[in-house]
Homo-oligomer: A and B are copies of this chain.
Amino acid sequence: MSQTLDRALQVLEFVGERPRRIGDIAARLDVHHSTALRFLHTLRKHGFVQELPDHSYRLGPTMFRLGYQALEGIELRSVARPAMERLRELTGETVHLGSLEDGSVLYVEKVEANHPVRMHSRIGAVARLHCTGVAKGIVAFLPQADRDELLDGYELSRMTDHTIVDRAALEDELALSRERGYALDAEENEPGIHCISAPVFSGEGRVVGAFSVTAPISRVDRQTLLSFAPALVEATRDTSRQLGWQ
C-alpha cells in the first residue's frame, strides 16, 4: 500500500468535513507542514481541493464532478428512478433509494414530496443501519451471516425515544419485517418523521437496495403510512424484476 496516497486520501476526508488550514492538516497527519503543503498543491492542481482567501482549503470542483459521476455509475439508480416517481405520485410523499455499497447503506436517489415541506437532501449520506427506513429494509433481507457481519460491532446509538438500541430487539423487529415484506422506521431516527421501506433484489437474488417512503407524522398518520405498503412493495418488485430477479 502506498503511504503517500494513503495520507493524501486522509487529507481529502479531513478537508471534506469542513475547510481546514495547513497547520490542522499537518497536525492531523502528524507530518511536517511542508509535506501537507505538497499534498495540497497536488490536490489543488487537479481541482480536488480549492484554496479559500483565508488560506484554508475545502473540497474542489473535481470532487463533486467525480462524485456525481460515481452516482451515475450505479445501475440501480437509473433503473429505479421511474418506479420511484410512480410511487411518489401514488403516495404524494418523498421517496428515497438506499443502496448497499461496501457494507454501508447510502442514500443514492430521492424524489421529493409534492408538499412544500423541505428537508435537506440526504443524497450521498450514510444511513444508520438500525434506525433508518432504507437501511432496515435492506438489512432485514440479508442472509443472517451478512447481517451479523454488518451489525457485530455496530453501535446502536440512541437517536430518539423510539430508537431500538437492543440488538436482540432489533433482530426480532427485522424478522418481523422479513415476514411482512416491508420495514418501518417509527420515529426511530428523527422525532416526528416515520418511513416505510421495502427491499430491491438483484438478478442473483441478493438485496442490493431499498425504497423508502418518508413523511412527517403531522401530515401522515401511522395507518396511512401502512396503507402505502402494497404500492411500495409493488414498486420494489417491479425494479427487482428489471434487475433480472426471478
Q: Which B residues touch A143, using CB under 8 A? A: none
Q: Which B residues touch A68, using CB under 8 A? A: 64, 67, 121, 123-125
A243 close to B (CB within 8 Å)? no
Q: Which B residues touch A58, using CB under 8 A? A: 70, 73
Q: Which of A120-145 contact B (CB under 8 A)?
A: 121, 123-126
Interface 1/0s, chain A 1-29, versus B by CB < 8 A? 11011101110110011110000000000
Copies of this chain present in the complex amount to 2
CA A42 to CA B64, docked complex, whole Å: 21
Other-chain contact of A101, B13, B16, B60, B126 (Cβ < 8 Å): B60
A71 close to B (CB within 8 Å)? yes
Interface 1/0s, chain A 49-69, versus B by CB < 8 A? 010000000111111111111
The answer to whether B1 touches A61 (Cβ under 8 A) is no
**Please, which residue of chain B has its CB at the minimum distance from the CB of A124?**
B68
Other-chain contact of A67, B2, B5, B18, B124 (Cβ < 8 Å): B124
Write the nearest CB–CB distance from A63 to chain B, whole angstroms: 4
A162 close to B (CB within 8 Å)? no
A46 close to B (CB within 8 Å)? yes
The answer to whether B8 touches A2 (Cβ under 8 A) is yes
A149 close to B (CB within 8 Å)? no
Q: Which B residues touch A61, using CB under 8 A? A: 70, 101-102, 104, 106
Q: Which B residues touch A50, using CB under 8 A? A: 101-102
A43 close to B (CB within 8 Å)? yes
The answer to whether B5 touches A124 (Cβ under 8 A) is no
Write the nearest CB–CB distance from A16 to chain B, whole angstroms: 5
Known: A1-B38, A68-B124. 14 other contacts (CB 8 A): A1-B45, A2-B4, A5-B39, A6-B42, A13-B46, A16-B65, A59-B70, A59-B73, A63-B67, A63-B70, A64-B71, A65-B125, A69-B124, A71-B124
List 13 interface pairs A-B (beta carbons < 8 Å), by A numbering: A2-B4, A4-B4, A5-B8, A5-B42, A6-B46, A13-B66, A16-B70, A18-B73, A61-B104, A64-B70, A65-B106, A65-B124, A68-B125
> Which A residues are closer than 8 A to B by beta carbons?
1-2, 4-6, 8-10, 12-13, 16-19, 38-39, 41-43, 45-48, 50, 58-71, 73, 85, 101-102, 104, 106, 108, 116, 121, 123-126
